Structure 1
């Protein structure tokens, strides 16, 4: 059984999630990539246990994380059983449903049938009686929001989840969801949108997503703050053959256009001037907004995780730094989730 570090809560920054009573770490660990069957289990375990030692209390999953779908939940469930059983009440475990998980008409979308069946499957894979947060992973235009939010309410009322959340909903759909939730007596704790220096869609519109969350007192756990690895030192000199972009996957090689890489190199120079890695500055930048509760990061190694957490050593920006960043921080067409949720 794993014995956690005694000082694990001494250096992590915690932020209140909206106007709720829940504090979340400023950096959380997401198991979207690197926690399926293609990554050695011992490496996964090493990353997760190091996260716990660093004060990361929030572990984020979804039903389809793998590969194959469900593998990340099974692997983390094994860690819960073998290493983290005594720490369950110190952890915030979240999962989601909304994207395709199994064949047929009931394995995708936002229906009550799919969401609650998926949650039960997730609990079985995790070996838990409840998750702390259960999300609607995407807006489903084919299902009434009252049904989707009603399923989340059932999850909370039945104590299969302590809190409810939504992910990748546009500002308009977020407003609609919050209105429906209020009508049916559901508190929506958190919204999980993608957000980075190269993906700024949550700032667009009047009101924008961050405006809606700030006004409603809903927390924001932003994912992919490193733009799926683009905002690291990995692509400064082009596309390595062993990289995620070269091998195919969510990060497409065409996202790494010459003009985008030039912006990344310029941002890297600004980070160097701050005494940070590019990844650390990118994380600090999304956390600059008080409406953002948490930056949700992935990790393929302990070293990468530690580098990300070190972003908390320097969160403040000068006006000159923010102005310089603004010259090179643009939407780079990498929001791969938009056509299936936030554009609808």
Structure 2
């Protein structure tokens, strides 16, 4: 059944330009990592996507390995596209996906080779049931695969009309510069970079944001809530729900250190004075820097989604607030992807 979207969805929505490109993205984008797997309820996922669109969210971020199992998130989102967003509604969406992590057995099932990326985009389009995605990423650096080959593959995907734009994720500033230059030689711009960024993981402030600004490349930060650590559920050091209780999930319980919890409590106190939840302040803080095009969030329920989107009701910070936040917004050792960025 088609979705009949809220006709007022664009009246108050705001968008941010992605680098120097002609593409704009919503300040908060919806990701499908962990929340669109086989263990999640389809109708709940459908309701989340519909609600996001009704509130002006036009960008939906996937990867071929999101699930579990791998590929399931694209299968689910493809069904939602067919049933709820047919025809012209599809053209109101920015759909992105990625490839690079393990997807199938053997030497070609992962990496950044021409073989893997071309096979991956074809599989992604089949699962989604579309003829192109709007953004296709190299999901992570692979030092054993030549960057020239990786960027040539991304450029070929654009020339074949299978993606409108391309991006990279978890690349260092130096690797990002190389990717930008190689794509430029191919006549294809590097649209966007997707790094991990939160108040407990600020490494992109040490050169990457400057690099993206110089190159005119957009930035979409993922895990603005530090995989849930920057929410109210961990304030007492114990959680009754969330990723820390999922033994198969990516959350590392070792992140619940006394130092991290003390910083989370300090940040929560500032959020309360601002009239926000900690999660809302964490998202607003990521967006404080105009070089960040969008903050990428996940949601398990419509209620969680609404709470996150309400962060846009208060995105202004006084210099005094930012200074106080800096006392608690410190490296928390939670970035599972940091070693990739150092490659």
Q: What TM bracket, shorter-length normalisation?
A: over 0.9
| Contact in 1 for aligned 2:233/2:240 (Cα 8 Å) | no
Partner of 2:179: 177
Partner of 1:218: 217
Query: Could you list the per-position Cα deviations for residues 70-94 of structure 1 after superposition, in whole angstroms to 9, with x for gaps in the alignment?
Result: 0000000000111111310000000
**Root-mean-square deviation over aligned CA pairs:** 0.9
Q: How does 1:131-170 map to 2 (within 5 A)?
A: 131-170=133-172
Q: How does 1:105-254 map to 2 (within 5 A)?
A: 105-204=107-206, 208-248=207-247, 249-254=249-254
| Contact in 2 for aligned 1:226/1:282 (Cα 8 Å) | yes
| Contact in 2 for aligned 1:168/1:342 (Cα 8 Å) | yes
Q: TM-score, normalised by structure 1?
A: 0.97
Query: Could you list the per-position Cα deviations for residues 122-171 of structure 1 after superposition, in whole angstroms to 9, with x for gaps in the alignment?
Result: 10000000000000001110011110011000110000000010011011
Query: Could you list the per-position Cα deviations for residues 251-278 of structure 1 after superposition, in whole angstroms to 9, with x for gaps in the alignment?
Result: 1110111110110010000011111111
Q: Which moved more, 1:260-269 or 1:236-245?
A: 236-245
| Contact in 1 for aligned 2:202/2:331 (Cα 8 Å) | yes
* CA positional deviation for 1:201: 1.1
* CA positional deviation for 1:184: 2.1
* CA positional deviation for 1:234: 1.2
* CA positional deviation for 1:241: 4.5
| Contact in 2 for aligned 1:241/1:247 (Cα 8 Å) | no
Partner of 2:30: 29
| Contact in 1 for aligned 2:96/2:135 (Cα 8 Å) | yes
Partner of 1:272: 272
Distance 1:319 1:115 in 2: 45
Runs of 4+ in 1 over 6 A off after TM superposition: none
Query: Could you list the per-position Cα deviations for residues 169-218 of structure 1 after superposition, in whole angstroms to 9, with x for gaps in the alignment?
Result: 011111111121122222110001010000111012xxx11000001110
| Contact in 2 for aligned 1:13/1:312 (Cα 8 Å) | no
Distance change >3 Å, CA 44–CA 10, structure 1 → 2: same
Distance change >3 Å, CA 124–CA 300, structure 1 → 2: same
SS in 1 for 2:192: strand
| Contact in 2 for aligned 1:239/1:246 (Cα 8 Å) | no
Distance 2:121 2:304 in 1: 31
SS in 2 for 1:28: strand
Distance 1:82 1:243 in 2: 30
Distance 2:142 2:254 in 1: 28
Partner of 1:304: 304
Q: Provide structure 1 residue ranges, at least 5 long, that are not aligned to the other structure.
A: none
Partner of 1:334: 334
| Contact in 2 for aligned 1:149/1:177 (Cα 8 Å) | yes
Distance 2:337 2:13 in 1: 30
Query: Could you list the per-position Cα deviations for residues 62-119 of structure 1 after superposition, in whole angstroms to 9, with x for gaps in the alignment?
Result: 0000010000000000001111113100000000001111110001110000011011
Distance 1:290 1:244 in 2: 30
Partner of 1:95: 97
Distance 2:11 2:296 in 1: 20
Query: Could you list the per-position Cα deviations for residues 6-61 of structure 1 after superposition, in whole angstroms to 9, with x for gaps in the alignment?
Result: 01112222001000001110000000021011011011111011001011000000
Partner of 2:47: 46
User: What is the number of residues matched between the two proteins?
Assistant: 340
